[in-house]
């Protein structure tokens, strides 16, 4: 039997998979806290600067000239990151996403080569370690460096954990597990806002947010390797052992679980996964299109979220709202993605275009147009729609690539996604040039990515590719028939010789 048939025997989403996926999905709360940390620990309170500072042309020591009038303890108040030092707050946010970019590039291909489980556990351990370095940073330079390292680990394990939630279950449940992953990330943003409301000191907030990572590391230690990865690498016996273990934990009795010794990568296909994406004729164009779609999703998603603390009202309520507003998007995703008249491609492009239009309305509609058409409401609508598109693009991308290079492909696409994340902290600050400029950027990004996404193929109800050869099913069947004919001819020749 092949790997998909084996999942149907042991259980596509049994009790063991439910527990394993639950741990990986809940880990997104920790990852969301790390991603959004700069929003609250870098909060800029109201302040007053002595007139003597301006009269001296800004040459006086800023710490002696500034008075913070709001009771907030952040990196801004500790290291006086205002005026000519204000860029350091956005820089710290960008360094985090630069680390995420590097993590995507490094961890994706690495997990395709040595396995999902070891890469995930090592990355999670070091993220927790560097997270405590953030909380104990004696100066801004150490803080910024630790955010870069935390981002590196966060990007790597985020990618691998998402793939594990897909590969632990049958393909029929990929949309559900992928959606749950992104949904819990949104809940994590809201929980981080709640945590920040009760823990105002930024060092205590960083420590509390990071401590949950240690708990998740202990819960993930006993997770097995992905059977799909083992099978795709030719480790069929190990894949059978993991599947038998799953069956036992699911309460299913399996007497003879034997996987086919076919469908693994050929020796020439075991090279660099990233290189295969550039060389393979089918995957090359998919990767180019998806890289831009991921970039646009990230730019709009994080641009709107990181700008939450700059809007009017309580920064904690705003951050929580920008997290909770995503939740209605995920049931919509599951509904539309599994409809034959919508599927993955049409649903993703529709949400992207609608997110762009919501941002366009924010540009053209006056600020005094009422509650429903206020800038905040339109921004929240844009966040909801781009969250739906972002959720789909994760699932859609994993279905467009074979198992042997799935993590490498997700890593490359996530790399371009993190370019958007690096630029996102600076987009809200473009209000200083013109108030409509940030939403103009979001509008053009969403519309262009939505239109470009129409060039991709549909994957709904299509079998999951395990190897590069599976991208040419007709060609593979032709080769199989040729092999069978050759074997039959060889048998007939041997029989004639024996006679």
Distances (CA, A) of 464 to 18, 47, 170: 21, 57, 10
Residues near 457 by Cβ (< 8 Å), separated by ≥ 6? 286, 345, 400
Sequence-ordered strand ranges (E) for 19-83: 47-49, 66-68
SS3 73: strand
Q: What sign results for the dihedral spanned by CA atoms 41, 42, 45, 48?
A: positive
Residues near 40 by Cβ (< 8 Å), separated by ≥ 6? 74, 192, 193, 196, 202, 205, 309, 315, 316, 319
| Beta-bridge mates of residue 67 | 48
pLDDT number for residue 295: 94
The distance in angstroms from the start CA to the end CA of the chain is: 37
pLDDT number for residue 268: 39
The CA-based angle 422-424-429, given to 5 degrees, is 125
Query: Rounded CA gap, 473 and 496, in Å?
Result: 35
Of 32, 88, 102, 86, which is closest to residue 301 (Cα–Cα)?
Answer: 32
pLDDT number for residue 469: 72
Please answer whether residues 321 and 400 qualify as being in contact, where contact means their C-beta atoms are separated by less than 8 angstroms. Answer: no
The CA-based angle 156-158-162, given to 5 degrees, is 120
pTM: predicted TM-score of the whole model, two decimal places: 0.76
Q: If you search the block for the tokens 């924010």, which residue do you land on? A: 362
Of 90, 88, 122, which is closest to residue 103 (Cα–Cα)?
Answer: 122
Query: Rounded CA gap, 146 and 127, in Å?
Result: 10
Q: Burial of 67 by CB count in 10 Å (0-12 exposed, 13-18 middle, 19+ buried)? A: exposed
pLDDT number for residue 128: 95
Sequence-ordered strand ranges (E) for 13-153: 47-49, 66-68
For strands 47-49 and 66-68, give the pairing. antiparallel
Would you write out the chain's pLDDT as a tens digit for each of its 499 residues?
778 888 888 888 989 999 999 999 999 999 999 998 998 998 888 777 776 655 555 545 666 677 777 778 889 888 888 877 888 888 998 899 889 888 877 887 888 888 899 999 999 999 999 999 999 999 999 999 999 999 999 988 988 898 899 889 988 888 788 888 888 998 999 999 999 999 989 999 999 999 999 999 999 999 999 998 888 888 888 988 888 889 888 888 877 778 877 544 443 344 456 777 888 878 888 999 999 999 999 999 888 877 765 666 678 888 888 888 888 888 888 889 888 888 899 999 999 999 999 999 888 887 666 656 777 788 889 999 999 998 899 889 988 888 778 877 887 887 788 788 888 878 877 877 887 888 999 999 999 999 999 999 998 888 777 777 777 654 444 444 444 555 566 666 666 666 5
Domains of the chain: 3-45+72-461 (1.20.1250.20)
């Amino acid at each position: 039997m092949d790997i998909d048939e084996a999942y149907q025997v042991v259980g596509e989403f049994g009790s063991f998979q439910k527990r394993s996926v639950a741990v990986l999905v809940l880990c997104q709360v920790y990852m969301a806290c790390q991603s959004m940390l700069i929003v609250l620990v870098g909060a800029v309170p109201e302040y007053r600067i002595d007139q003597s500072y301006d009269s001296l042309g800004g040459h006086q020591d800023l710490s002696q000239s500034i008075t913070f009038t709001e009771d907030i303890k952040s990196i801004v108040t500790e290291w006086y990151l205002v005026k000519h030092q204000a860029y350091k707050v956005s820089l710290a946010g960008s360094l985090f996403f630069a680390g995420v970019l590097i993590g995507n590039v490094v961890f994706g291909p690495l997990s395709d080569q040595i396995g999902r489980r070891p890469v995930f556990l090592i990355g999670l351990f070091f993220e927790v370690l560097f997270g405590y370095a953030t909380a104990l940073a004696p100066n801004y330079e150490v803080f910024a460096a630790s955010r870069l390292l935390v981002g590196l680990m966060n990007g790597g394990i985020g990618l691998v954990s998402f793939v594990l939630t897909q590969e632990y279950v049958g393909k029929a449940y990929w949309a559900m597990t992928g959606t749950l992953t992104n949904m819990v990330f949104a809940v994590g943003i809201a929980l981080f806002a709640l945590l920040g409301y009760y823990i105002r000191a930024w060092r205590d907030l960083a420590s509390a947010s990071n401590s949950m990572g240690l708990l998740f590391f202990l819960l993930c230690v006993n997770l097995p390797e992905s059977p799909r990865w083992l099978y795709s690498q030719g480790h069929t016996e190990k894949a059978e052992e993991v599947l038998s273990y799953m069956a036992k934990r699911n309460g299913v009795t399996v007497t003879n679980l034997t996987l086919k010794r076919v469908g693994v990568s050929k020796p020439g296909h075991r090279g660099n996964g990233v290189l295969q994406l550039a060389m393979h004729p089918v995957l090359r164009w998919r990767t180019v299109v998806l890289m831009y779609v991921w970039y646009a999703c990230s730019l709009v998603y994080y641009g709107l979220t990181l700008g939450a603390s700059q809007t009017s009202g309580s920064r904690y309520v705003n951050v929580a709202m920008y997290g909770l507003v995503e939740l209605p998007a995920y049931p919509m995703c599951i509904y539309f993605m599994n409809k034959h008249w919508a599927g993955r491609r049409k649903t993703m492009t529709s949400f992207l275009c609608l997110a762009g239009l919501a941002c366009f309305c924010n540009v053209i509609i006056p600020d005094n147009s009422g509650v429903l058409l206020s800038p905040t409401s339109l921004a929240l609508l844009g966040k909801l729609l781009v969250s739906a598109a972002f959720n789909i693009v994760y699932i859609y991308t994993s279905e467009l690539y074979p198992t042997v290079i799935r993590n490498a492909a997700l890593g490359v696409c996530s790399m371009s996604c993190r370019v958007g994340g690096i630029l996102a902290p600076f987009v809200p600050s473009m209000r200083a040039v013109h108030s409509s400029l940030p939403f103009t950027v979001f509008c053009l990004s969403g519309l262009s990515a939505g239109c470009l996404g129409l060039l991709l193929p549909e994957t709904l109800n299509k079998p999951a590719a395990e190897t590069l050869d599976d991208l040419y099913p007709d060609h593979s069947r032709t080769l199989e028939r040729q092999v069978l004919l050759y074997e039959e001819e060889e048998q007939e020749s041997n029989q004639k010789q024996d006679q």
